[in-house]
């Protein structure tokens, strides 16, 4: 949400309780506990920011520019597996990198179709290094936010492995796809034939956060499949869906997919069983196509 400017002719919002605006009967500030600052802490949106003449106040403008810069950096940055995900995580899961047909970041941004197809070398590498027929195959894609991958994947991947192990499923060897779009799920399904593919991919960043991760899921994806055959768990970040909750939801949804032998519009999440009270605090949380 962008900063809210008051209409011309109205007094600026005051920052302190006791002001005419803050004390107006029925106003959101009057009905909120504590000060205006406490109200703002309830949301990352820039609300009740006030103005200086016809312009944003300096702190609001600086924060807006900072958040915009973070969003641009998230899109333009490149992921380095060892540097960003840690050498220990790479070694533990045997992570390795493949690429799509996009030759670079510029082409990836201008040609989304190339990001939906694995290059020939990637197809050969996956065939050689990833066992086929896994019950759940995790794919990590940079997508439109490298920052989201760096912030969320180190904590989420071990939690997903634990959920899969608890169910007695085969956990496919995870790998990273550079210049990745959601449609790459179809190539992975064709090559490795897992029951369920989970693509952890950086969401398009906004001004509230640049670290939001999505989990796109599909049951036995194949060439020609569209979003109608996929499910999505989005907003995985510190102020959104917690990592432990995300791992539970991915595993529970995968279980429903396997039972129905389908995904997408034919399969819906059942959040009534979400054990929020039993889940431990998220670990490693630093905090689309």
Give the pLDDT confidence score for residue 46 in this predicted structure.
Answer: 76
- 180-214 pLDDT, tens digit per residue, is 999 999 999 999 999 999 999 999 988 778 899 99
Structural domain contains residue 23: no
Average pLDDT over every residue of 146-167: 96
| Residue 283 confidence class, pLDDT cut points 50, 70, 90 | very low
Domain membership flag for residue 128: yes
Quote the pLDDT of residue 276: 59
Residue 30 lies in a domain: no
pTM here? 0.80
Q: Which runs of consecutive H residues, i.e. helices, occur in the chain? A: 20-23, 28-31, 36-40, 58-76, 87-93, 105-110, 120-129, 146-166, 184-192, 243-260
Tell which wins on pLDDT, 149 or 27. 149
| Model pLDDT for residues 83-120, shown as the tens digit of each residue | 999 999 999 999 999 999 999 999 999 999 999 999 99
Domain-located, residue 223: yes
DSSP 212: -
What's the whole-number mean pLDDT along residues 141-154? Answer: 96
Q: What is the percent of the chain where pLDDT is above 70?
A: 83
Residue burial 3-14, b: 16+ Cβ < 10 Å; e: rest: beeeeeeeeebb
Integer-rounded Cα Rg, in Å, for the chain is: 22
Residue 206 lies in a domain: yes
CATH of the domain at 256: 3.40.50.11240
Is 64 inside any structural domain?
A: no
Q: What is the pLDDT of residues 3-48, one digit of tens each?
A: 444 444 444 444 444 444 444 444 444 444 457 777 777 777 777 7
- 1 domain-assigned: no
d(CA 151, CA 211): 6
Please tell me the predicted confidence (pLDDT) of residue 289: 53
Which range marks the domain in which residue 249 is found?
A: 75-278
Strand order in the sheet with 136-141: 97-99, 175-178, 136-141, 196-202, 213-219, 230-236
Place of tokens 């995580």: 89
Residue 45 lies in a domain: no
* Residues 209-265 pLDDT 10s: 889 999 999 999 999 999 999 999 999 999 899 999 999 999 999 999 999 999 999
> Count of domains in the chain?
1
């Amino acid at each position: 949400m962008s900063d809210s400017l008051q209409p011309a002719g109205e007094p600026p919002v005051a920052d302190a309780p006791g002001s005419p605006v803050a004390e107006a009967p029925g106003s959101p500030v009057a009905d909120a506990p504590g000060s205006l600052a406490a109200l703002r802490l309830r949301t990352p949106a820039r609300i009740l920011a006030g103005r200086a003449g016809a312009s944003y106040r300096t702190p609001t403008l600086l924060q807006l520019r900072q958040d915009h810069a973070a969003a641009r950096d998230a899109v333009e940055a490149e992921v380095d597996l060892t540097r960003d995900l840690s050498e220990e995580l790479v070694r533990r899961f045997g992570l390795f990198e493949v690429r799509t047909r996009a030759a670079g970041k510029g082409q990836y941004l201008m040609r989304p179709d190339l990001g939906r197809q694995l290059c020939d070398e990637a197809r050969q590498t996956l065939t050689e290094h990833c066992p086929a027929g896994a019950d759940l195959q995790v794919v990590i894609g940079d997508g439109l936010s490298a920052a989201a991958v760096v912030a969320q994947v180190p904590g989420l991947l071990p939690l997903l492995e634990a959920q899969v192990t608890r169910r007695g499923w085969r956990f496919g060897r995870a790998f990273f796809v550079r210049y990745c779009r959601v449609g790459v799920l179809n190539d992975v399904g064709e090559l490795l034939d897992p029951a369920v593919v989970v693509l952890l991919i950086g969401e398009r960043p906004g001004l509230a956060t640049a670290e939001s991760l999505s989990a796109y899921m599909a049951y036995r994806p194949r060439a020609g499949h569209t979003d109608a055959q996929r499910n999505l768990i989005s907003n995985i970040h510190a102020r959104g869906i917690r990592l432990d909750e995300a791992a539970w939801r991915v595993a529970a949804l995968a279980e429903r997919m396997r039972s129905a032998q389908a995904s997408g519009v034919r399969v819906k999440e059942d959040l009534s069983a979400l054990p929020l009270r039993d889940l431990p605090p998220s670990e490693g949380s630093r905090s689309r196509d």
